[in-house]
Structure 1
Amino acid sequence: MLAAAPPVRTLRPLPELDYYDSRSISLPTAITPLEAWNLMTSGPQPLMRLAFQVRDAISSLFGVKRIGGFSGARRETVQVGERLDFFLVEDSAPDMLVLTERDRHLDVMICLSIADHLLTVTSSVVTHNVFGRIYMFPVGPAHKLIVGSDLRRLKRKLEYSRIS
């Protein structure tokens, strides 16, 4: 039997988005979206740190605030209005975690949702100007690779923790 599709949120309806990506993975054990976030953003990620440093160096030349990347800090709970690193928590439920970052160049929404051990990470972006569109040119393809890698790493961590 097929797993039920997790609920998903995007910034706008799909035809109105400038970027959309949704990736799912079947998990070997039940976890919450916040636990998935904690596992995906934890641990040494030297390439991600470098990517954020490059992003901050270039983007700051155009008046975009530095975001610094992921701290790897584990959170047991989050409330709407709090921050997970540079993301604002817009929704936190047992089956969904919605994070956003909005500025004058673009709005980003990341939705982590889970139903029947199926984790889906949905990313949506609306650009507001030329810089936002240029920014997404390299970031869009890189984001797909990063999320795919993060999901595979998450699954390996969960499989390993079941064996240990």
Structure 2
Amino acid sequence: MNIPHNALIHSYLDGAYFADTHNIELPYQGESALEIYITTMKKTPNWVNTLMDVRNRIVSKLGLKHLGSLADVDKDKALDDYQVGDQIGIFSIVSIEPNELVVEDCDKHLNVRLSFLIVPKGDRMVLHATTVVDVKNTLGKVYMFFVAPVHRRIVPTSLKTLLPA
């Protein structure tokens, strides 16, 4: 995977059951990784939110956690008010740096971690969106069997919403 060596998400890669990264080059005006993450979540395509709704209905019958929607971001909360440990959409914040945000959702079946890392290039940037999943049991493996292929489509599609029109 093409992840910069200084990315905080690297510490979660060893032994991961699933890991992928998607990169996109975008205009850059000094936005933080948190700001770009929130913008991305707010622009989540409707079909992705529909899939999340279907996922939540199915897995809640199997005893897995109902996550809500990716777009469930507090629209009134100021960027400066976010702290490590806060909930932001379906994830909790692990680390907030100007150039990298790491969020996670952990339960008895798996740990999912996501990093948004900005690498500035003048008035452009490369945004690296990296997901790392640690599976804890068979149900987690079954879940990832179905989710991994869809995930590989969701992330690049969501990142493309950031491109200027």
* TM-score (norm: length of structure 2): 0.84
Within 1, Cα distance between the matches of 2:107 and 2:9? Answer: 19
- Contact residue 42 and residue 73 of structure 1 kept, 8 A: no
The answer for the alignment partner of 1:69 in structure 2 is 69
Identify which of 66, 71, 84 aligns with 2:88.
Answer: 84
Within 2, Cα distance between the matches of 1:49 and 1:150? Answer: 11
The residue identity in structure 2 corresponding to 1:27 is: L
Aligned pairs for 1:36-55 (under 5 A) are 36-43=36-43, 45-55=45-55
The answer for the alignment partner of 1:12 in structure 2 is 12
- Contact residue 135 and residue 141 of structure 2 kept, 8 A: yes
Structure 1 residues 137 and 11: CA distance shift in structure 2, 3 A: farther
Identify which of 129, 136, 146 aligns with 2:137.
Answer: 129
Give a deviation string over 1:37-71, Cα, whole Å, max 9, x none: 12111146321221111111111122112111122
Percentage of matched positions with identical amino acids: 26
The residue identity in structure 2 corresponding to 1:95 is: N
Within 2, Cα distance between the matches of 1:136 and 1:26? Answer: 28
CA offset at residue 29 of structure 1? Answer: 1.6
- Contact residue 83 and residue 89 of structure 1 kept, 8 A: yes
Query: Which sits farther off after the overlay, 91-100 or 38-47?
Result: 38-47
Give the secondary structure class of the aligned counterpart of 1:27: strand
Query: Which sits farther off after the overlay, 69-78 or 131-140?
Result: 69-78
Task: Give unpaired runs (5+ residues) of structure 2.
Answer: none
Give a deviation string over 1:64-88, Cα, whole Å, max 9, x none: 1211112243352311010102211
Within 2, Cα distance between the matches of 1:25 and 1:45? Answer: 17
Give a deviation string over 1:4-61, Cα, whole Å, max 9, x none: 93624146334x0110001111111232111111211114632122111111111112
Task: Give unpaired runs (5+ residues) of structure 1.
Answer: none
Within 2, Cα distance between the matches of 1:90 and 1:114? Answer: 17
Within 1, Cα distance between the matches of 2:134 and 2:11? Answer: 7
Structure 1 residues 8 and 145: CA distance shift in structure 2, 3 A: farther
Within 2, Cα distance between the matches of 1:50 and 1:11? Answer: 32
The residue identity in structure 2 corresponding to 1:120 is: H
- Contact residue 25 and residue 151 of structure 1 kept, 8 A: yes
The answer for the alignment partner of 1:104 in structure 2 is 108
The answer for the alignment partner of 1:21 in structure 2 is 20
Runs of 4+, deviation exceeding 4 Å:
none
The answer for the alignment partner of 1:148 in structure 2 is 156
CA offset at residue 118 of structure 1? Answer: 1.2
Give the secondary structure class of the aligned counterpart of 1:99: strand
- Contact residue 100 and residue 109 of structure 1 kept, 8 A: yes
